[in-house]
Structure 1
Amino acid sequence: MEQLTLQIVDAYNEDLRGLIAKLDNYLFALYPTDEVHGVELENAEAERVIFVGAYLGKAAVGCGAYRPFDERSCELKRIFVDPAYRNKGIASRILSFLEQEIKHAGYHSILLETGLVQPESIALYKKFGFVEIERFGPYIHCSSSYCMGKTLPSSSHLA
């Protein structure tokens, strides 16, 4: 199998947009339209979002992103692997990559929202140390939202 590469891409990247369209179609099949919380790619919000694309050779196989939530925390968004490439560890690699980028950016915690009917996503996040938290922000009144959070280890160690 070809080597997986991960790279930061912008909101106008055609591969990213194709993967997000597949993700949206998947989510709209699971949830009512008003319960799908994406990232608007055509406004100023997208400029604050850091996107990553995952590639096997030239094939775009997955994506993910994070955006600032407040000064100390950020929110994971749009983690997705094309169904044809699932169960190969790609989502874990995307999540690890994003976590490293988030640490380098100086954030102390990560928040995320997934859905109650996505047990595979919940299991992945638990594997990475995320725990259930109260619904936050736009998800407070969304009954299908399952919110999780994680505090990042401090990079400074006392001697």
Structure 2
Amino acid sequence: MDSLATARFRRFARAVTAEVGALDTSFLGRGRPLGAARVLNAIGAGRAEVGEIRAYLGLDSGLMSRLLRGLEEEGLVTTAPHPADARRRVASLTEAGRREFEAYEALSDARAVALLERASHADDLLRAMDRVALVLGQEAIAIQETDPTSEPARACLAAYYAELAARFAGGFDVALSCDPEAVDMVRPRGAFLIAVADGVPVGCVGLTGRGGPVAEIKRLWVDPAARGLGVAKRLMQAAESAARDLGIRTLRLDTNSALSEAMALYRRSGWVEIDRFNDDPYPDHFFEKAL
């Protein structure tokens, strides 16, 4: 890598450090540094087990203990043995801690709004932020099974349909496609899986079954910012694993030649092209895989 690329990276790191207040002794003016504020935020956001918080924030055990002790001394956090395992500890916010968490949330939201209002191309800036966050946090992207009618699932599907409308020469109307029923994408018939990065959905895939040994893969989508990180491959592997759990022995899928990345993934993953098996007007390639 050339020296200019290194200089650009370091300039970016310095700008982010200054913007987020990483070196401030009083993050957002609340009297404590960023590390303590992040621990408080993690607990307020629902992470209770101390080991989970430490892993989420990438802290060593010594620093985690010091930060927790400081928050306890302020009367913002309490810790107690885990009810199922006394060797583990759980943390919770006090009433004062809840008020402090909410204050941080309001200030952080206001800072985000102010930054985006300064940008002449806020959408471009957000897309760049998405890409950086996902590349840096790719190891923490999790695959989760969810209800296909849940809000994260609907958000993924809406983005998927919008992308098809933009990429297909004649557009895309979900009402004209063979859209799977939600009931066919929940166990025991099928499953719906999403990829989640720090609480934000960045991909999805549906396993559509009808109780027999054959099922279909539907609606594979990955956020453009997360592409190239292996998310689609992981989603497909999770869908295949779910299919095996359900006793499904053969998977099928259809796709459109405009989705060249998807077709390449299927061929690399052992899928074999077969004849058309439905009357959906949009796909022009059909695949099958024996499990």
TM-score, structure 1 normalization:
0.84
- The match for 2:278 is 137
Q: CA deviation at 1:27?
A: 0.7
Higher relative contact order (CA 8 A, sep 6+): 1
Which 10-residue stretch deviates more, 30-39 or 87-96? 30-39
Aligned-residue Cα RMSD (Å) equals 1.9
Call closer, same or farther: CA 1:16–1:34 in 2, change over 3 Å: closer
More helix by share: 2
Identical aligned pairs, as a percentage? 29
Provide the rounded CA distance (Å) in 2 between the counterparts of 1:11 and 1:34: 19
- Give the counterpart of 2:159 among 18, 22, 42: 22
The alignment of Structure 1 onto Structure 2 pairs a total of residues equal to 146
| Partner in structure 2 of residue 117 of structure 1 | 258
Listed as ranges, the matches of 1:101-116 within 5 Å are: 101-116=242-257
Q: Does 1:97 align with 2:238?
A: yes
TM-score calculated relative to the size of structure 2: 0.47
Counterpart of 2:229 in structure 1: which amino acid?
K
Match of 2:125 in 1: none
Which stretches of structure 1, 4 residues or longer, exceed 4 Å deviation after superposition?
none
In structure 2, the gaps of 5 or more residues are 1-135, 186-190
Deviation, structure 1 residue 95: 0.5
Which of 130, 133, 142 does residue 5 from structure 1 map onto? 142
Q: Is the 8 A contact 1:66 1:74 kept in 2?
A: yes
Change (3 A) 1:51 1:38: farther
Larger Rg: 2
Deviates more, 1:26-35 or 1:85-94: 26-35
Q: Deviations over 1:67-101 (max 9, x none)?
A: 11572210000110011111100000000111000
In structure 1, the residue matched to 2:182 is 46
User: Which ranges of structure 1 fall in alignment gaps of 5 or more residues?
Assistant: 153-159
Distance 2:253 2:154 in 1: 21
Structure 2 vs 1, CA of residues 7 and 111 (structure 1 numbering), >3 Å: closer, same or farther? same
